[in-house]
Amino acid sequence: MAQRWYEGLEEVLLALAEMPRRFAYARENDTFSELELRQVVYQSHRLIFTIKDEQVIILHVRHIAQQPLDEL
């Protein structure tokens, strides 16, 4: 089961590397104005990332049950 989860995550990361701007803005995007925050949801986790000089930088991986960063 863990192996399948990891393999699925790898597929998401490949899609993220190919077309990161196709993913939605994260709800925290308005709170942290110095960065453009986007997110991709994979099963029970949100990967929050930004794009800098065409490089994808994953900033945080959060379980969807956790409070959003702008509510901490």
| Residue 52 lies inside a defined structural domain of this protein | yes
For 54-64, the pLDDT digits (tens) are 899 999 998 98
46 belongs to a structural domain = yes
Helix (H, G, I), strand (E, B), or coil: what is residue 58? strand
Q: Name the band, by pLDDT with cuts 50, 70 and 90, for residue 72.
A: low
The domain in which residue 27 lies consists of: 2-66
Q: Count the domains in the chain.
A: 1
Q: Is residue 71 part of a domain?
A: no
In a domain, 48, yes or no: yes
With contact defined as beta carbons under 8 Å apart, do 43 and 5 qualify?
Answer: yes
- Asked whether residue 72 is assigned to any structural domain, the reply reads no
Structural domain includes residue 33: yes
Judged against a pLDDT cut of 80, whether residue 17 lies above it is answered with yes
pLDDT, tens only, 20-69: 999 999 988 988 878 899 999 999 999 999 999 989 999 999 898 887 77
